[in-house]
């Protein structure tokens, strides 16, 4: 008959889950459920097989004899262990030792085995020897090793054999089992061992109790751990409080959906065996001894302090620490390290440092971990000096930094871009043979921020010469390069040569490389890499699909994204709400509303609940296309799904009502927006102004705008909307007033805002104000965009700058000529009479080696406009020396220069070229010649005319322009001899 048959646990002895099962050391013994034990099983004698030693004396041996015995034990066990290391044949090796091997030596030999297979073989050999008497210490050693190796089947067999050999478990046995199961992530099963030991009449001793606290702490069941400890202090164990049914906890605190009741657990072969109940007298006395009123071990206090600290119960942790000192329990380094971390991680760094002082007062020596804790705390707080101070104190204390030290320190000094300090720490790590691998991503990011890619690449090459970084580290480095736009470096890291099969690319590296391609907008490469990954047999994850789909959707490559959603589902993955939302948003931006609705319906079919972003995209999409009824339909669906309308959604509806011309609807939505918690935000207010402006309700728009100004909330967009509203309805003075207010408010910061104000000034022909704004833009280093250039060229055209010259400048900009932008600025400033600025921009390119007539043309115009005709003519001579052919623009600006200098012969020369067809006929050149003769006080018959109507209109405009800009021309006019050309 097996021990399982002898000592079954009756199911009737178990309480129902609804009742409160509390056991107390003073309650009636549970022996009525178990048959009486054979008295000889209560305490098996610990003897050795083939032992020829004399029995132990009843009196304590002398210290000298004790040392001799220990030395003898050490010699025998050391000899056996060395032999076992040199041989794979365990049995033959042990057979060669025919001497006495005591139980203590057996324990040492079992403990020192390098793997669980060796333990099983060695233990099997000892048990096979004649005279071997089984004892619980040996089984405890074997159970611990098997449990840590997670060899549950072997552990089960060992446990059953232990029962069959009538070896009763001890508290230490259960503590070992609880610890092994807990560290393996089997928190529920670990705690069920406590139920098992209670069914057999054992009460947890302090070590077992502490182990249970650790298990509960690791799964973040802090309240349950606290209750277990307090019950234990009262001499009882609440078995029902150890139930996690119907869910099972994992070590990360999450729960699985696999229920396991205590009856199912206890009925298995593993838990229905393993010892019986002690007699009631022995039980009562032992229980009372194993339930002390207070803990007596430092490790127990340390565990409790750590548990309360992780639970955020700082007062409880401090109380345990104080109780530990009052009880006379020795404070150790672990105690102080834990308390320092707890107090410091809650921001009490001063108190944490005071604990270090107290530690020295108590003659407890700090270790490297002590300084690491303080270093990490200050690093996390951004106090680099303090972190470096504790780094130095490690060596000052005669200790050595470890990998944790270096990782924490490099993290903070890399973030602060302390390049020299980082390189010094790396040198220290090399001297100490500590790998820099885990800090590589942070160091690479630092070099990227410093713009020193060469050092980053040198560091990576140097590291790879000695060791291949792990895939996680490589992925982080690829991501660092990709996020900063250094795609070539990211590709180099991704496609680096691999020297070992285990270093093949994994899914993590593919994911970050795909992300890098997406950031660089190289979507074809991202998709190609995704396909390449599949061809290499690397299984995509749902994260891969979600990332790629969202990337393609953001680029409005929505058809590819849609295909990937289908493929993702075929692979057994379920797209997330954010993924569906990205596709729907892309369809609505493209105006493909029917496709957006199809994806929405598909989302519902796959049981993915739409969020407010999905509904917002659909509402906004239909609002943009004037489908008010559809927008309201999805608005109603959103409310039915339990989502409250936010300002973004209401703004979209406001827009939709505005496009439908429904003023009442607009006001209704506006009222809802005003009644929302927090009130209207600036985006909603601007949307409201835009809607009123669209409907032509100027008074309402003005009222909303004025309220925003009074509240100090009006931004640049608010001013721009009102400015354009006034401009569009012809209220130019009001528009200019808004523009002036906008300037005075300091809201001109972005190119877009400058463009709006310049447009407004340009429409009102206040060109000089446009020049001032352009100057302000340049001083603030606000780069112009296409809209800015459009405004500038429109001013040049309105100011009767020769159309051929305008087209020439536009062509230079399109071709990307290096001087084109400066030449445009110089031309505009000259036209507006802002000659100092024009000359300043001219100097940025005129001294270069120019081969373009356009640059020389601008220089001639700028110098002539500034009244420096000599320099203008010198530019023309330089142009001829460089063999740059003059064009029609050259002739136009040159004749203007001759006119200003009263050089009639020069004007006649160009007039002749035009008259005899040696230069192309141009209205601009014709007008320039006429005006030059006027400046020279000559009335000359041109000999031909252009179309009379066009000429008359052109001459009128030209005269008006000359009158308008004469006030800007402060250049001096000089008389020149006609022969001076």
State the pLDDT at residue 89.
66
Return the SS3 of 288.
Answer: helix
The conformation of residue 186, written as its DSSP 8-state character, comes to: -
Return the SS3 of 248.
Answer: strand
The arithmetic mean of pLDDT across residues 802-815, rounded, is 90
For residue 777, pLDDT over 80 is answered with yes
> What are the respective helix, strand and coil percentages of the chain, to the nearest 5?
65, 0, 30
For residue 281, pLDDT over 60 is answered with no
For residue 685, pLDDT over 90 is answered with no
Distance of CA 230 to the CA centre of its chain: 41
Kindly report which listed range (255-269, 409-423, 560-574) carries the lowest average pLDDT score: 255-269
Beta carbons within 8 Å of 281's beta carbon, 6+ residues apart: none
Cα–Cα distance between 610 and 576 in angstroms, integer?
Answer: 10
Strands 255-256 and 236-238 turn out to be unpaired
For residue 976, pLDDT over 80 is answered with no
State the pLDDT at residue 614.
92
State the pLDDT at residue 37.
36
Kindly report which listed range (244-258, 725-739, 758-772) carries the lowest average pLDDT score: 244-258
For residue 591, pLDDT over 80 is answered with yes
More confident residue, 7 or 835: 835
Handedness of CA 143, 148, 149, 151 (dihedral sign): positive
State the pLDDT at residue 423.
92
Listed residue (306, 326, 325, 303) closest to 314, CA to CA: 306
State the pLDDT at residue 418.
92
State the pLDDT at residue 96.
67
Kindly report which listed range (98-102, 235-239, 941-945) carries the lowest average pLDDT score: 941-945
The conformation of residue 23, written as its DSSP 8-state character, comes to: E
State the pLDDT at residue 479.
92
Distances (CA, A) of 581 to 516, 647, 698, 703, 878: 22, 19, 37, 37, 64
State the pLDDT at residue 678.
61
Cα–Cα distance between 798 and 787 in angstroms, integer?
Answer: 17
* Cβ contact 422:443 at 8 Å: yes
| Exposure string over 552-569, b if 16+ CB within 10 A, otherwise e | bbbeebbebbbebbeebe
State the pLDDT at residue 944.
55
Handedness of CA 814, 817, 823, 827 (dihedral sign): negative
Q: Which two tokens stand for residue 290?
A: 């194993």
Handedness of CA 395, 401, 407, 410 (dihedral sign): positive
Cα 818-824-825 angle, rounded to 5 deg: 105
Cα–Cα distance between 777 and 719 in angstroms, integer?
Answer: 18
Helical H runs in 675-711?
682-695, 698-710
State the pLDDT at residue 18.
34
Q: Hey, how many other C-beta atoms are within 10 angstroms of the C-beta on 935?
A: 18
Crossing angle, helix 716-728 and helix 732-744, to 10 degrees? 170
* Cβ contact 971:866 at 8 Å: yes
What percent of the chain lies above the pLDDT cut of 90? 19
The arithmetic mean of pLDDT across residues 611-633, rounded, is 89
What are the φ/ψ torsions at residue 436 (nearest 5 degrees)? -95, 5
State the pLDDT at residue 410.
92
State the pLDDT at residue 557.
92
For residue 211, pLDDT over 50 is answered with yes
Cα–Cα distance between 688 and 360 in angstroms, integer?
Answer: 67
Distances (CA, A) of 12 to 9, 32, 193, 242, 473: 9, 12, 18, 19, 56
For residue 279, pLDDT over 50 is answered with no
What percent of the chain lies above the pLDDT cut of 70? 80
Return the SS3 of 249.
Answer: strand
Q: Is the pTM of this model over 0.85?
A: no
**Using one digit for the tens of pLDDT, what is the confidence trace for 460-516?**
988 877 777 888 899 999 999 999 989 999 999 898 877 654 466 788 899 999 999
For residue 566, pLDDT over 60 is answered with yes
First to last CA, the chain: 132
For residue 544, pLDDT over 60 is answered with yes
The arithmetic mean of pLDDT across residues 48-75, rounded, is 41
Distances (CA, A) of 616 to 263, 592, 601, 648: 52, 16, 15, 7
Q: Hey, how many other C-beta atoms are within 10 angstroms of the C-beta on 14?
A: 16
Q: Which two tokens stand for residue 281?
A: 């007298």
Work out the pLDDT band at 443, boundaries 50, 70, 90: very high
The arithmetic mean of pLDDT across residues 871-884, rounded, is 88
State the pLDDT at residue 752.
80
Kindly report which listed range (271-285, 729-743, 834-848) carries the lowest average pLDDT score: 271-285
Cα–Cα distance between 951 and 927 in angstroms, integer?
Answer: 9
Average of per-residue pLDDT values in the chain? 78
Q: Which two tokens stand for residue 540?
A: 């995509």
The arithmetic mean of pLDDT across residues 705-719, rounded, is 76
For residue 135, pLDDT over 60 is answered with yes
Handedness of CA 190, 195, 200, 203 (dihedral sign): positive
Listed residue (617, 600, 616) closest to 608, CA to CA: 600
Kindly report which listed range (219-223, 240-244, 738-742) carries the lowest average pLDDT score: 240-244
Residue with tokens 């052109």: 954
For residue 56, pLDDT over 70 is answered with no
Beta carbons within 8 Å of 934's beta carbon, 6+ residues apart: 899
Burial class for 879, CB neighbours closer than 10 Å (0-12, 13-18, 19+): buried
Work out the pLDDT band at 970, boundaries 50, 70, 90: very low
Work out the pLDDT band at 258, boundaries 50, 70, 90: very low
Dihedral over alpha carbons 654, 656, 660, 665 (to 10 degrees): -30
State the pLDDT at residue 62.
38
State the pLDDT at residue 945.
56
In 571-676, beta strands by DSSP E:
none
* Cβ contact 859:846 at 8 Å: yes
Cα 658-659-662 angle, rounded to 5 deg: 50
Work out the pLDDT band at 895, boundaries 50, 70, 90: confident
For residue 441, pLDDT over 90 is answered with yes
State the pLDDT at residue 633.
92
Cα–Cα distance between 84 and 569 in angstroms, integer?
Answer: 56
Dihedral over alpha carbons 679, 681, 686, 687 (to 10 degrees): -80
State the pLDDT at residue 14.
35
* SS3 assignment for 291-324: CCCCCCCHHHHHHHHHHHHHCCCHHHHHHHHHHH
Kindly report which listed range (58-72, 217-231, 261-275) carries the lowest average pLDDT score: 58-72
State the pLDDT at residue 942.
64
State the pLDDT at residue 244.
62
The conformation of residue 885, written as its DSSP 8-state character, comes to: P
More confident residue, 310 or 790: 790
What are the φ/ψ torsions at residue 237 (nearest 5 degrees)? -130, 125
The arithmetic mean of pLDDT across residues 908-925, rounded, is 82
Distances (CA, A) of 314 to 233, 341, 381, 781: 21, 11, 19, 53
DSSP assignment string, 703-768? HHHHHHHHTT---HHHHHHHHHHHHHTT-HHHHHHHHHHHHHTT---SHHHHHHHHHHHHHTT-HH
For residue 312, pLDDT over 90 is answered with no
The arithmetic mean of pLDDT across residues 610-628, rounded, is 89
Helical H runs in 362-439?
368-380, 384-396, 403-415, 419-431
For residue 816, pLDDT over 60 is answered with yes
In 599-745, beta strands by DSSP E:
none
Residue with tokens 């290499």: 536
**Using one digit for the tens of pLDDT, what is the confidence trace for 349-378?**
888 888 888 888 888 889 999 999 999 999
State the pLDDT at residue 99.
61
């Amino acid at each position: 008959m097996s021990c399982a048959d002898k000592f079954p646990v009756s199911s009737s002895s178990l309480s129902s889950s609804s009742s409160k099962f509390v056991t107390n050391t003073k309650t009636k013994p549970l022996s009525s459920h178990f048959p009486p034990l054979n008295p000889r099983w209560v305490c098996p004698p610990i003897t050795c097989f083939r032992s020829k030693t004399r029995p132990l004396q009843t009196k304590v041996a002398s210290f000298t004899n004790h040392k001799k015995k220990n030395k003898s034990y050490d010699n025998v066990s050391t000899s056996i262990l060395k032999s076992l290391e040199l041989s794979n044949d365990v049995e033959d090796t042990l057979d060669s030792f025919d001497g006495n091997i005591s139980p203590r030596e057996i324990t040492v030999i079992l403990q020192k085995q390098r793997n669980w297979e060796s333990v099983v073989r060695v233990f099997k050999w000892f048990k096979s020897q004649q005279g071997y008497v089984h004892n619980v210490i040996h089984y405890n050693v074997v159970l611990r090793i098997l449990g840590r190796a997670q060899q549950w089947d072997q552990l089960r067999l060992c446990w059953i054999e232990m029962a069959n050999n009538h070896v009763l478990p001890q508290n230490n046995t259960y503590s070992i089992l609880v610890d092994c199961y807990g560290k393996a992530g089997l928190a529920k099963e670990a705690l069920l061992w406590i139920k098992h030991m209670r069914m057999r009449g054992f009460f947890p001793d302090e070590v077992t109790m502490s182990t249970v606290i650790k298990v509960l702490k690791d799964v973040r069941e802090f309240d349950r751990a606290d209750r277990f400890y307090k019950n234990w202090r009262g001499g009882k164990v609440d078995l029902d409080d150890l139930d996690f049914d119907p869910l099972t906890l994992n070590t990360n605190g999450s729960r699985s959906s696999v229920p396991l009741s205590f009856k199912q657990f206890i009925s298995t072969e593993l838990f229905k065996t393993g010892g019986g109940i002690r007699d009631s007298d022995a039980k009562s006395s032992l229980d009372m001894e194993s339930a002390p009123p207070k803990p007596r071990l430092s490790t127990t206090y340390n565990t409790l302090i750590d548990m309360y600290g992780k639970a955020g119960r700082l007062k409880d942790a401090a109380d345990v620490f104080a109780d530990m000192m009052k009880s006379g329990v020795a404070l150790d380094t672990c105690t102080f390290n834990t308390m320092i971390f707890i107090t410091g991680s809650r921001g009490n760094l001063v108190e944490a440092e005071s604990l270090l002082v107290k530690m020295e007062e108590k003659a407890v020596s700090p270790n490297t971990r002590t300084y690491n804790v303080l270093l990490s705390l200050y690093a996390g707080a951004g106090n680099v000096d303090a972190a470096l101070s504790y780094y130095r104190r490690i060596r000052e204390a005669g200790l050595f930094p470890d990998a944790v030290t270096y990782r924490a320190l490099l993290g903070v000094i890399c973030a602060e871009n302390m390049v020299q300090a980082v390189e010094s720490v790396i040198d220290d790590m090399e001297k100490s043979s500590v790998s820099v691998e885990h800090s590589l991503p942070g160091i690479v990011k630092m070099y990227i921020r410093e713009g020193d890619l060469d050092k980053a690449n040198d560091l990576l090459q140097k590291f790879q010469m000695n060791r291949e970084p792990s895939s996680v580290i490589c992925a982080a480095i690829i991501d660092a390069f990709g996020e900063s736009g250094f795609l070539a470096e990211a590709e180099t890291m991704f496609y680096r040569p691999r020297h070992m099969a285990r270093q093949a690319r994994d899914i993590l590296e593919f994911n970050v490389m795909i992300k890098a391609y997406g950031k660089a907008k190289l979507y074809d490469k991202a998709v190609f890499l995704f396909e390449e990954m599949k061809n290499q047999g690397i299984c995509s994850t749902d994260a891969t699909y979600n990332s790629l789909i969202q990337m393609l959707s953001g680029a409005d490559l929505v058809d590819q994204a849609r295909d990937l959603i289908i493929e993702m589902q075929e692979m057994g993955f379920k797209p997330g709400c954010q993924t569906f939302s990205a596709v729907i948003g892309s369809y609505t931006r493209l105006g493909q509303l029917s496709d957006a609705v199809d994806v929405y319906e598909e989302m519902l079919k796959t049981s993915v609940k739409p969020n407010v972003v999905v509904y917002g995209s659909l509402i906004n999409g239909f609002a943009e296309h004037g489908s008010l009824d559809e927008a309201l339909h999805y608005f109603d669906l959103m409310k039915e799904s339990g989502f409250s309308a936010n300002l973004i959604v209401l703004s979209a509806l406001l827009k939709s009502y505005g496009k439908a011309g429904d003023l009442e609807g607009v006001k209704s939505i506006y009222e809802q927006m005003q009644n929302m918690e927090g009130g209207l935000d600036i985006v909603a207010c601007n949307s409201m102004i835009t809607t009123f402006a669209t409907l032509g309700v100027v008074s309402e728009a003005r009222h909303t705008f004025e309220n925003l100004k009074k509240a100090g909330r009006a931004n640049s967009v608010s001013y721009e909307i009102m400015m354009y509203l006034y401009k569009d309805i012809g209220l130019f003075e009001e528009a200019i007033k808004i523009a002036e207010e906008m300037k005075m408010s300091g809201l001109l910061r972005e190119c877009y805002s400058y463009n709006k104000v310049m447009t407004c000034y340009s429409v009102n022909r206040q060109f000089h104000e446009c020049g001032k704004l352009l100057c302000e833009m340049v001083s603030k280093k606000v780069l112009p965009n296409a809209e800015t250039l459009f405004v500038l060229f429109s001013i040049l055209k309105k100011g009767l700058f020769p159309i051929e010259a305008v087209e020439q400048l536009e062509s230079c900009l399109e071709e990307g000529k290096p001087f084109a932008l400066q030449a445009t600025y110089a031309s505009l400033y000259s036209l507006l009479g802002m000659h100092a600025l024009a000359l300043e921009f001219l100097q940025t390119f005129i001294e270069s080696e120019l081969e373009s007539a356009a640059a020389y043309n601008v220089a001639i115009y700028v110098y002539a406009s500034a009244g420096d005709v000599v320099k203008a003519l010198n530019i023309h001579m330089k142009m001829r020396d460089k063999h740059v052919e003059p064009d029609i623009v050259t002739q136009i600006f040159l004749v203007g220069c001759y006119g200003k200098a009263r050089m009639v012969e020069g004007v006649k020369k160009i007039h002749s070229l035009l008259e005899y067809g040696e230069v192309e006929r141009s209205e601009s050149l014709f007008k320039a010649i006429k005006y030059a003769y006027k400046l020279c006080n000559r009335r000359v018959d041109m000999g031909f005319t252009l179309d009379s109507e066009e000429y008359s209109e052109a001459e009128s405009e030209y005269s008006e322009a000359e009158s308008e800009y004469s006030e800007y021309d402060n250049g001096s006019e000089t008389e020149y001899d006609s022969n001076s050309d």
